[in-house]
Amino acid sequence: MSRVNAFLELLIKQSGSDLHLVSGNPPRIRLCGEIHPVKYRELTENETQSLLFEIMPERVKQTFESLGGADFGYEIPGISRFRVNVFRHLGGMGAVFRAIPSSVTDLDTLNMPAVLKALARQRKGLILVVGPTGSGKSTTLAAMIDFINTERKGHIITIEDPVEHVHMPKGCLISQREVGDHTDSFASALRSALREDPDVILVGEMRDLDTISLAVTAAEMGILILATLHTNGAAAAIDRIINVFPPGEEPYIRAMLSTSLCGVISQQLVKTADNRGRLAAVETLVNNSAASNIIREGKTEQLENVMQGGALQGMQNIDTALRRLLDEKLITGEEAYRKARLKSNFEQYREQDDSTNPASADKLR
């Protein structure tokens, strides 16, 4: 058994999300969004390298040696899977292990808005799940794929770097491909997937022009595409896609998005009121006729108004999502204030000593 497993088992036992092994430091785990040291000695440069090389596949070692960093998946059977990033730093070598539950959590258990099921029932188009790193995008996508797998009979292809949640066939045939092991890139795998009779394609991350262009084209062709972007907010996700294209192609991609986009799910994790975990605050945009016209005309700043007026279609902005969680006493007012886009909506919950405590003010920023 690998020596690193003991730290990973502790991570799972403590219900943590990430394990940090960085030479020159003791191991650390992230609990409820905050990093805490493990009661253990500082890891030396040689010790850290030995721990990590013990579990790294040969292909990953070669990538790490040439590029100074690499990603791969690691699994402790019966415990959990982990997404691993290894890197070089000033003090030697380090790695971060993200815990991935062995079983997929369903949308109801995640307390997700009902509109996510409606979006997952679409037969074609583009669904974006966006948010900062560590906001639970992969968990949401896995739950949506599991929902489709349960309800439909078709072919689901996932393209990931690395493969995170492993899906067992239910109603659907599932093919899971990992960038590096099974394909050179997201773009090449997506191009190949178009010839593999897919009904649904999950794109782990839309990183470049080629991948984004292929994803939008596939959605236009009648395939349901689920993909992620690292952006904050539904409107920002639309802008990110459009801005990837050369200026002369912007009207073309706006027109394609206006017809192929199903919706955008933007989320961030917030601390629960009992301080024992985190849950997702979810902003949702459904591409109705008003949103479609705004996207086509390039007036994405007006999408906020569409979300505010689209409650009957399941839409809400992030501040409305936070207000609902606050009203249900699932989060504190202070946490809602921290995460709110328009702080004035939650001003009454601001920490009482903000004005006199610089450290507190910095924390809120």
| Spatial distance between the Cα atoms of 285 and 317, rounded to a whole number of angstroms | 8
**Would you place residue 363 in the very low, low, confident or very high pLDDT band (cuts 50, 70, 90)?**
very low
CA–CA distance, 168 with 322 (Å, rounded to integer): 34
Domain 115-331 maps to which CATH number in 3.60.21.10, 3.90.1300.10, 3.90.1720.10, 3.40.50.300? 3.40.50.300
Q: How far apart are CA 288 and CA 22, in angstroms?
A: 47
Q: In the prediction, which pLDDT does 209 show?
A: 94
Per DSSP (E only), the strands in the chain are 18-22, 28-31, 34-37, 69-76, 80-89, 92-100, 125-130, 155-160, 173-178, 200-203, 224-229, 261-271, 278-286
Tell me the two tokens of residue 323.
Answer: 């207000």
Amino acid 32: pLDDT: 85
In angstroms, the CA 101 to CA 287 distance is 31
In the chain, pLDDT over 70 holds for what percent of residues? 96
- In this structure, the number of other CB atoms found within 10 A of the CB of residue 299 comes to 11
More confident residue, 3 or 121: 121
Alpha carbon distance 331, 324 (integer Å): 9
Q: How many other CB atoms are there within 10 angstroms of residue 216's CB atom?
A: 22
Q: Residue ranges of the domains in the chain?
A: 5-100, 115-331
The Cα–Cα gap between 353 and 334 comes to 12
CA gap 122, 144 in Å, rounded: 11
Q: What is the pLDDT of residue 276?
A: 85
Mean pLDDT across the chain, nearest whole number? 91
Whether CATH 3.30.450.90 fits 5-100? yes
pTM of the predicted protein model: 0.86
pLDDT in tens, 89-108: 998 999 999 998 878 999 99
Task: Record the tokens describing residue 287, joined without a space.
Answer: 């591409």
Quick check: 37 and 53 in contact, CB under 8 A?
no
Direct distance between the N- and C-terminal alpha carbons of the chain, in angstroms, rounded to an integer: 44
Nearest by Cα to 278 from 139, 166, 172: 139
Contact 57, 178 (CB under 8 A): no
Q: Does the structure show a pLDDT above 50 at 272?
A: yes
pLDDT at 187 over 60: yes
- Express each pLDDT in 292-349 by its tens digit: 999 999 999 999 999 999 999 999 999 999 999 999 999 999 999 999 999 998 999 8
- The candidate with the shortest Cα–Cα distance to 147, out of 177, 101, 179, 104, is 104
Summarised one tens digit per residue, pLDDT across range 109-126 is 999 999 999 999 999 999
Q: Does residue 350 surpass a pLDDT of 90?
A: no
pLDDT band at 358; cut points 50, 70, 90: very low
Distance CA 27, CA 51 (A): 12
Residue 241 Cα distances to 257, 260, 265, 309, angstroms: 9, 13, 15, 24
Our CA angle for 18, 21, 24, nearest 5°, is 145
Nearest to 182 by CA among 151, 158, 199, 166: 158
Same fold, 5-100 and 115-331: no
